Every structure is written in structure tokens, then in C-alpha cells.
Structure 1
Amino acid sequence: MTSKASSTAARGRRRATAEVKSGLRELSVHLTLLNRQVGGRLGLKEVDLDCLDLINAHGPLTPTALARQAGLHRATLTGVLDRLERAGWASRDRDPDDRRAVQVRALRDRNAELLGLFAGMNTSVDEICGDYENAELERFADFLHRTAEAGRKAADDLADK
């Protein structure tokens, strides 16, 4: 490859990478706005929804583990859990293996309500995915998982400073 072709390829790569980063920022903004709308409909704060999502994905969790994953102070998490319990989304139960420990678990009774509020986005994503081959979707999924992990690590690094 010539020096000029190499330089052109490098510029193209930088431009494409910048477009990916721009797309991720735009996606982040719009998902935040969607979560704000969903939270408003449910009477929950955005942080409550974030914690509920973590509990659904990784629970049951101890309050300490949830606070760590959510990047929240334990006192702040207490307020979040109080709101989630009052609204019927989560419960704090004694750990069956350690009576002194508490586990936070999601209550699934209202999941249909939550899924209904996200139905428009889920339908749109299904339609978008229909435009791609399985191998492409697998690459997108890998990219998104690796990018999410990079975001988690960056947040952890900032929290440690």
C-alpha cells in the first residue's frame, strides 16, 4: 500500500470511528430520554429504573453489591430501594443462607407493564435487526457488549479516583 493510500485509509478509519462514537452518544441520549418517559409513567426516578434493571439482570443482589454496580452510595440506594418496594417492583428479603444478610430481588408481577412501555423501542429494534444477517448481528452484539464493558470500566476507574 502506498503512503498516500495508507493515509487515506487512516483518515477513513478515523472518520468511521468518530461516526460510531457519535452514534453511541446519540443512542445514549435517546435511551436516557426514553427511560425518563418510562420512569415518569411509572412514578419512578431514572436511577430507580437503572437499579431495577440491574436487579432484573443480576439479582438477587445484596444492597452493597447493587450499590457498587449502580455506582451509588449505600445511603442513596436505601432511598431507591424504598421507592421500588413501595411501588411493588422489588423486595428486600433475608438471605436463606445467612439470616443477617439481605437480598434484593425483583418482583415480576409488574413486568408486563414495564415491557409494554418499552414495546415501541423493542419492536423498532426487531425491525432493524431484520435488515441484517445473523453473522452481522453477532458482530453487533459483540461490539455492544465490549463497548458496555468499556463503559463499566471507565465508570469504575472514575469512581476509584
Structure 2
Amino acid sequence: MALLNHQVSSQIGLKDVDLDCLDLIGKHGPLSPSALARRAGLHPATLTGILDRLQRAGWIIRERDPEASDRRAIAVRALPARNSELFRLYSGMNASMDEICAEYDERELRLIADFLRRVTDAGADATADLTGE
């Protein structure tokens, strides 16, 4: 998957870490830049360059956060206009996943989903241990 994501990011003119941040914004956004930096495990100064690239390329927008007490606070939001480009690039993998999943019955799929959820949680816990969060 890392190699596929690398190819996708290069196809759309982004760095791998840019695509990772775009994914986090899409899943958890809108987010403040500091919240995104924490989720991505990046230094805020590094994140500024990533957000600049994503905004120039039309993937995100930075806007004033209406829920923040500080009027200077901003939120980063993904723009859906370019999602079809990502769907197209991932369509081959999505079709393959559909074919693979069709070979399993409902019980087996639940078992696989449980396993993947538990592995993901273990990875998140290990990451939190390393970062002290």
C-alpha cells in the first residue's frame, strides 16, 4: 500500500507526506494546523509547507475557525472538487479489493475486519507510546 500511495501522490504532484495529511484532513477535518501536526506526528513548521502545497494545488482551504475563541485561529478543510481524481487513481486497487472480498463469506469478512481493527488500534497505541501522547 505504501508503494501504491507513493505512486498516487506522484501522479497528482504531491509528496507522500502531503497525501498522508490530505487523508487525515479528509477523515478528521476540519482540523486546526496544530491538531493536524499532532495527528501526523509532524513539526508545525513542516506542516506549514505541506499545507501551502496542498492549498496551491487546490486540495484544501484554510479558513477562520468560527468555533475558536481566538479570532486568528484557522481550520483546514479538504475540498471535494478533486476527489474524483483520487478515486480514479485508486480504482484499480478498489476493484481488486472488491474481487478479493467477494471470495469470503460474511463471517470471514467480520473476522478479517476485526483483525484489521485490532492491528490498527495496536499500531495507534504503539505510536502514542513512542510520542508520549
TM-score, structure 2 as length reference: 0.94
Q: How much has 1:97 moved relative to structure 2?
A: 2.1
Greater RCO, CA 8 A, separation 6+: 2
2:82 match: 110
Aligned to 1:139: 111
> Does residue 122 of structure 1 match 2:94?
yes
Distance in 2, matches of 1:158 and 1:138, equals: 30
Sequence identity, in percent? 61
Once the two structures are superposed, residues 25-45 of structure 1 have per-residue CA deviations (whole angstroms, 9 ceiling, x without a partner) of xxxxxx111011001110100
Per residue, is there more helix in 1 or in 2? 1
Q: CA deviation at 1:143?
A: 1.2
SS class of match (1:157)? helix
Give the drift of 1:115.
0.8
Matched, 1:44 2:7: no
Higher Cα Rg, which structure: 1
The Cα of 1:159 is off from its aligned counterpart by: 2.0
> In structure 1, what is the Cα distance between the partners aligned to 2:118 and 2:24?
18
- How many residues in Structure 1 have an aligned counterpart in Structure 2? 131
- Alpha-carbon distance in 2 for matches of 1:68, 1:77: 10
Gaps of 5+ in 2: none
The alpha carbon displacement at 1:137 in A equals 1.0
Q: Structure 2 CA distance, aligned partners of 1:126 and 1:67?
A: 33
User: Could you give the per-residue CA deviations for residues 128-157 of structure 1, whole angstroms, max 9, x where no partner exists?
Assistant: 000011121122112111111111121221
What is the CA distance between 1:58 and its match in structure 2? 0.8
Match of 1:83 in 2: 53
User: 1:60 corresponds to which residue?
Assistant: 30
Give the CA deviation at 1:160. 2.7
Q: Deviations over 1:11-55 (max 9, x none)?
A: xxxxxxxxxxxxxxxxxxxx1110110011101000000000111
